[in-house]
Chains A and B, each alone.
Chain A
Amino acid sequence: MKIVVAVKQVPEREAALRVTPDGRGIDESDVEWTMNEPDAYALEEALQLKQRAADAGLGEAEVVVLCAGPERVQSTLREALAKGADRALHVVTPESGEGSLAERGSLDVARLLAEAVKGEQPELVLTGLQSDDLGAGQTGVVMAELLGVPHATLVLQVEFAGQGGGGRRIKVRRELEDGWTQFVEMPLPALLTIQSGGNRLRYATLMGIKRARQKEMRELSAAAPAQRVDEVVRVSPPLRVKQTEMLTGAAEEIAAKLVERLRFEVKVL
């Protein structure tokens, strides 16, 4: 069994982001990068599936981690290898200018990734449900369309569900709203977008890092040209909309004012 995990490298949560002079992008010169959190959970689920497959006597599963981007993304791929992925695929895009990630939208990136996935013929493709930086939530589902496989979104857990309809089946638990979850059974091959928090992430180990050096990292060229269908007009930091108002008076008065606000302005009571 083969599982491909598509991950994205995003700026660190604490990174100070500056808008480029042209106002259409982020200045990446002193940004520190990390693995997109939902993708980290997708990787964790893949590694646990590998273990579950071995425990259930379903044979040795291979976890292949995939990322598109310039050279910097190799640190994220190495991290994935250190945590236990078996090998890595790096779809190389230029640092900047034509063909770079900045010039590509979700559809474009999904094309690059889908192309790489086709070469692997995996039974399962996992990826985070959205990215921490852009948060479009498109790449996974578009990839599924491009690959022609069924998909499920907002998945928390994956189980093997035996054979049926000419192949292996899985049962997934999806997160719905208001604390509800839904179980869906589906055939393989399939693509799942993974929600954060379904598992406990593992920590990186020294042994993992040392073993990762010996693991294969294959570079693929980004064959498909950038064909952006949308356009970035302007990038700006979010406007501060939070307002703080101090309620004064005796405790009872404050409580009364607070209830009034919560009931009629915030409308949560």
Chain B
Amino acid sequence: MLTTPERIAFVLVALLSLLLTAHGVSRLVRAIGRGQGRPRWSTFLRRVVPVSFEILLQRPIFRARPLVSLLHAGVFFAFVFYGLVNVLDVAEGFTGFSTLHRGGIAAAYNVVADLLSVAALVGILGLLVRRFGLRPFRFNDRVFLLPSVHFGIARDSAIVGGFILLHVGSRWIGQAVRIAESGRPDWSQPTASLVATLFSSWSDTALAAASHITWWLALGLILAFLPYFPYSKHIHLFMAPLNLILREESPLGRLEPPVTGDGTMGAERLEQLRWYQLLDAYACIMCNRCQDVCPAHGTGRALSPAALEINKRYYLNRNLSAFAGGASSPPLLEIAASKEAVWACTTCAACVRICPVGNRPMLDLIDMRHALVSRGDPIDPNLQAALESLARYGNSFGKPARQRARWAKELPFPIKDARKEPVEYVWFVGDFASFDPRMQENTKTVAQLFHAAGVDFGILYEDERNAGNDVRRVGEEGLFELLVEHNLAALEKAQFRAIVTTDPHTYNALKNEYPAYGLRVPVYHYTEILADLLERGVLRVQQPLAAAVTYHDPCYLGRYNRITGAPRRIIRALGLELREMPRHGANTYCCGAGGGQIWMDSGGQERPSEQRIREAVGLGDDLRYFVVSCPKDMAMYSDAVKTTGYEGRLTVIDVARLVATAVGIDGVARESVSVESEAR
């Protein structure tokens, strides 16, 4: 029971604290509101229950780092329950009502509170030891960080960790003191009762004083902490669930048009980001999981998605009242990420997939590219050449459109012109599969397989253009639209039921981006068609292949579009032994070619594809094939086995070539595969 002066003091301090907190929160809400667009309440209503359930189960957190996630779960569950504990403790201070030594529901409450207090203490101690003892959080030297971030992360972590430790610790010891005061252990609070034995020799006055002190430490601390709360990373407590709940259920591979309210393209400044991209900064808990999976950071480039969010947060915190009041931010390139970082992103979306709080730092980078490209900032010369070629010829190879289907001339049968006769499938071949001489063999193999299986397919010949997936992701929206218009006009001429494509990037664009422009047809990846043909027995395995292989999921297939089963079904149907790399399926590792990187100069640095080949080599000396299902992967990994010195030991091969060998297709495909098998 508190004394009257104590009660008055608590009420006054509480009022002041809540007032300050409300002020902070309102500034924060106004700051986030400066972003483009508005959240939709219908989304909130639809998602609040299922997403809250996910969060209660801690599913987003357990996607990675199981041990750390367990420590977090201890703190998390304690905090959820402490909502009730704190209310009852205040009530106890004011009315003297106590759950001590009561049975029934009060005892149940006591048990839970007691055990969760220990879980929180163990959890937060573990997390603090990890952060300050093991120091797992490092950015590479090239990553841009605001000066305030360097010390800020440690300070914020120390304050938040210290607060949790003191708050929960004081409450826990406070209960022990009250048990000691009562003179007998409370069976419903086993750990507190154990601690209470420490106070058995204390006088009544000492215990009464300790009871007051621990009460004030536990609850007064909340009042002291609350005004800081909106500026601390602890705000993730609200912002992370909000971020997860308010997220629209649109596919990961669908970008919103990059036009801001004032008509400019992309985001040059904070206020040109969308509201949820500003919310991201406050949902971020600085766990750096995104950085761990980022292929750009992993190969020493200047990009850290974590640093991007943290920089945004620290800039906002330091300039919150001005920004919330309507002031323009400095360019994002000066406060969030360097230009080098912006151009290092492969748009692999690993950061988006892994983030436990639903952040999408990749979108900021793409928006920044849109701003750079549209205001004419100089771009990588190779990228410029690719874009100019795409604008002129519709492909990045600088080849006339008329040469697009040249590979088809080398086949012993004609391929239908989908513009001239009806077909079941329009085969959207894609740039790399059409023009790159190394890929054309695979393309012919796919054609032969389709032909042998009697698939009714045709191509668009010179009317096909690059689908524009990566053009959009380098920030050239106008060119993307131009390509979409061309392709839709070409598809308009054709009569077909569905599209099949060789290229996962093309697949993503046609499946997720084109519907906004009016395309409404089923889109398949060729592995889906091949798997189906094998399973229906249309393509029959004549000679099962016996070899150990691994399969690389392309980002735009495995992670973006969750097509992970079909290629694996093919591999098993052929009799091959599939060994998974540690990073596979939706957690695949990028080859480094996406988001336009394939057109840019890698600057002689290590490439993600080289790391990936080493990952595959680690699966055993007898692993023979590195199986791919993306023409860009074929290009990237063929190079990477050479540069890593594993040529001859590991063969990069398109899944279609394996199918052709196993089913015994005559002609081009078989010859070239048998050459490969002889060579080994």
A and B bind? no
